[in-house]
Amino acid sequence: MAVLVALVAALTASSSPAAPRQRPRAPSGLAFYRPPARLLAGRHGSVIWSRPARGTLRLAGAKRALVVLYRSRSLTGTPIAVSGTVWVPKGRPPKRGWPIISWAHGTTGVGDPCAPSRDSPTSLAHGYIDYVYPELSAWLKAGYAVIQTDYQGLGTAGPHPYLIGVSEGRGVDDIVRAARELVPALGRRFAIAGHSQGGQASLFAASIARGWVPELKLVGDASYAPASHIADQIKLVGAFTAPSPISALGAEVLYGAAAGSPAVSISALMAPPALALMPQLEVKCEPQLIQPDSFGGLAPNRLLASGANLGPLLALTGRQNPAVSIPVPILLAQGGADATVPKPFTDQLAGELRAKHDRLDYRVYPGITHGQIPAAAQPVFMRWVAQRFGRR
């Protein structure tokens, strides 16, 4: 009889769900972003630790706001930690759980102080982060959970592979898994949306989601003024001879390319005036980098060294053009007065996406600048995303 009881107990235990592994308590301050190596092992998208979000990160419409550190994979497959933010709407979740919007943020910089999960009224990148808070808050009030990755290396260890699409896309997709682990009331269905750098990231995230997070259901992708045709733009920098804020973006592209491939060498590519400014990328963010005492005081044609071998750089950045196959509907929005991502590049991207038979709804907003496009497209997005989730 004792043997039978033991056997029944063993069978019962083996058929029960495994108890969730207790997560370590998150350390305070910036130590939150630096987990010990032993905690990196595990499924990508699983949670390392979390803590309540404070200050500006407590968005209107959110019942809960959390900063999360979660596992992901680098381009070479190495386990890494990525940070981000999770907002849960007020009220009772629907039967299938809260629908999710994974927001891919625009360029803030490439240094750790520029991570959106570190935002505060005095943070170096604040103006490049909080401009979309009204839109994110509206999504929460409409009954969507909203999550935002910082991307690989932005806040966490290692360099940020700026505009390296698959790296960004993994961060955008993996935080959906992490958010659902933290908040069981979140559903399996999610949409992706992003602006500028995040517009490019959103397209890559949508293209890999089915294979990368197969248990989740992506319903659509919205891309606002996405970075595209980066290699083509590099070839044009020699024509710009006046100091310009665009030089900051050019330096970040080179930084991101070097982070994305050992074949790209910053020291071999950059001209001395630009190379002397490169340390600023680690300690300043976009609002400071575009100033005259930084890259904003440098003409784009002075970024690259004369006679530099651009082959590896152009090959890598050419692969980051977000003309990818996506199995869900795409909303593409572009401002007609955008000087950062000019409309002709997005027009070209729209044609390339259609050539891949992607289901594309392309909207152009005359007179709208780069920073204005998320707000300008908000009414269309709200209808579009409701349709994607069947909430007409």
Specify the pLDDT at position 9: 36
CA distance 252 to 285: 11
Is residue 185 within 8 A of residue 98, CB to CB? The reply is yes
Specify the pLDDT at position 188: 98
Specify the pLDDT at position 196: 98
> Which residue intervals of 145-245 are DSSP H helices?
165-182, 197-212, 230-234
Q: Return averaged pLDDT per consecutive 10 residues of the chain, 392 residues in all.
A: 36 33 89 96 97 96 97 97 98 96 98 98 98 98 98 97 98 98 98 98 98 98 98 94 96 98 97 97 98 98 96 98 98 98 98 98 98 98 98 74
Specify the pLDDT at position 22: 78
Token digits of residue 239: 């024509």
Specify the pLDDT at position 18: 31
Task: Give the strand pairing for 217-224 and 330-335.
Answer: parallel
Q: How far is CA 341 from the centre of its chain?
A: 17
Beta-carbon neighbour count of residue 243 at 10 Å? Answer: 15
CA distance 321 to 164: 9
Specify the pLDDT at position 21: 59
Beta-carbon neighbour count of residue 354 at 10 Å? Answer: 14
φ, ψ at 224 (rounded to 5°): -105, 120
pTM, to two decimals:
0.93
CA distance 333 to 347: 10
CA distance 2 to 235: 79
